Amino acid sequence: MTLRLGTRRSALALAQSGHVADAITRLTGVPVELVPIVSEGDVSRASLAQMGGTGVFATRLREALLAGECDLLVHSLKDLPVAGAPGLVVAGIPPREDARDVVVTLDPGGLGALPTGAVVGTGSPRRIAQLRRRAPRVNAKDLRGNVDSRMQRVRDGELAGIVLAAAGLSRLGLFDPAEDVDGPRPGLGAASDLYLEPLGLAEWPTAAGQGALAVEIREDAPSPVRQAVAALDDAASRLAVTIERAILADIEAGCHAPVGVHAEIDGDEARVRSVVYAIDGSTRVGVDRTESLTGGYSRTTGGGNGAIAADGADPTARAALIGSAIARRLLDRGAAGLVSRESPQ
């Protein structure tokens, strides 16, 4: 048996699909071939928010999977809508990579050295809001294109910088997340002429699921397919992204909304930072919590509001409850008004 893995044609999609294919073969001995598929998001030049968010990349791939054109898909989990697709299931979440954002510049001083009025590009409303809040002197600009074209616009001087996901740069061999260097550092390979500055998750929480991959199959997939994909699943990564995506779902925010959230699993505890931003950066609502994943009875607010019942038997179900309770806390503090006013500009 050879598994057919459906993938977008971009360099990043092919790279991360190749990583998953190699991992399946290494763990199970089952060969995997890549099946490139073109999505609407690959051919349209409209902004992601105008097209309905990054879920546009998943739609065509899912159609191909349901039609039997392939056996499995690999998504960047941050780009996957929180609502599941009928007939499909995320059967594997490999170990999560670096969840941080990275600012890419020609200037070795990074974001802090950019002059007033410098233009920084990103396709994410959440990153635009964070730039407007944390670096108000720069101008945030909506941006489309693959990693290579975005970096070239920095080289050409059209943009002073761009913001990208560390995990994507790592999968392309352009960034080493393990390098113990504070501040900007030269990129690797094709990015060696640029400076890459990782942004700390405490001040710059990223998209739900950022750094993680989701391997999706049909609900009625044959047992060999299910077993091959299940071999990839990492329990800690699944728990963390379950919390993050439950927060998005319960505040009714799509994967392109100005929401930063990051959960870190440490033994039986989950440390969660979540922030909802006004798109102009003027306002933010945040909740930081540490919650037990096993038993107990914890609360995110007083008076019973946001209580999490003890579960013990199912850590994933409890992770979802933790995310829901944090979402309620965010809503109590006014997050709904910020999400309803979100705008790509």
- Catalytic annotation, pick one of 70, 71, 79, 245: 79
CATH for 3-93+212-233 (3.40.50.720, 3.30.420.40, 3.40.190.10, 3.20.20.70): 3.40.190.10
What integer is the mean pLDDT of 238-242?
97
Sequence spans of domains, the chain: 3-93+212-233, 101-199, 239-340
What separation in angstroms does the CA of 329 have from each of 110, 251, 255? 35, 10, 19
The catalytic residue among 60, 141, 144, 333 is 144
Q: 96 catalytic, yes or no?
A: no
**Rounded CA separation 323/308 (Å):** 10
CATH architecture of 101-199: 3-Layer(aba) Sandwich (3.40)
86-101 average pLDDT score: 96
- Clarify whether 150 is annotated catalytic: yes
Q: Is the pLDDT of residue 344 over 50?
A: no
Active-site residue, 71 included: no
Q: 2-6, 91-95, 309-313 — which is least confidently predicted?
A: 309-313
For CA atoms 19, 25, 27, 30, the dihedral sign is positive
Taking 60 as the threshold, does the pLDDT of residue 117 lie above it?
yes
- To the query of whether residue 78 is one of the catalytic residues in this protein, the response is yes
- 239-340: CATH number: 3.30.160.40
Q: Is 141 a catalytic residue?
A: no
Indicate which residue of 255, 273, 289, 311 is catalytic. 255
| Residue tagged active-site, from 8, 62, 100, 127 | 127
* 316 CB neighbour count, 10 Å cutoff: 14
pLDDT of residue 47 exceeding 60, the answer is no
Catalytic residue among 100, 126, 284, 329: 126
Q: Does the active-site annotation cover 100?
A: no
User: Mean pLDDT, to the nearest integer, of 29-49?
Assistant: 73
Residue % of the chain over a pLDDT of 70: 86
Q: Is the pLDDT of residue 132 over 60?
A: yes
Is 70 considered catalytic here? no
Distant-in-sequence, close-in-space partners of 49: CB < 8 Å, separation ≥ 6 = 125, 142, 256, 343, 344
- Catalytic pick from 150, 238, 284, 289? 150
Q: 164-189, pLDDT tens digit by residue?
A: 999 999 999 999 998 888 899 999 99
Of the candidate ranges 56-65, 83-92, 182-191, the one whose mean pLDDT is the lowest: 56-65
Higher-pLDDT residue of 45 and 69 is 69
Residue 145 near residue 125 (C-beta atoms within 8 A)? no
pLDDT above 50: residue 300 = no
207-227 pLDDT per residue, tens: 999 999 999 999 999 999 999
Q: Mean pLDDT across the stretch 285-302?
A: 72
Residue 175 burial (10 A CB sphere; 0-12, 13-18, 19+):
buried
Choosing from 8, 62, 78, 171, the catalytic residue is 78
| Cα 194 from Cα 34, distance rounded (Å) | 31
- 101-199 matches 3-93+212-233 in CATH topology: yes
The answer to pTM > 0.75 is yes
Per-residue confidence (pLDDT) for residue 179, from 0 to 100: 87
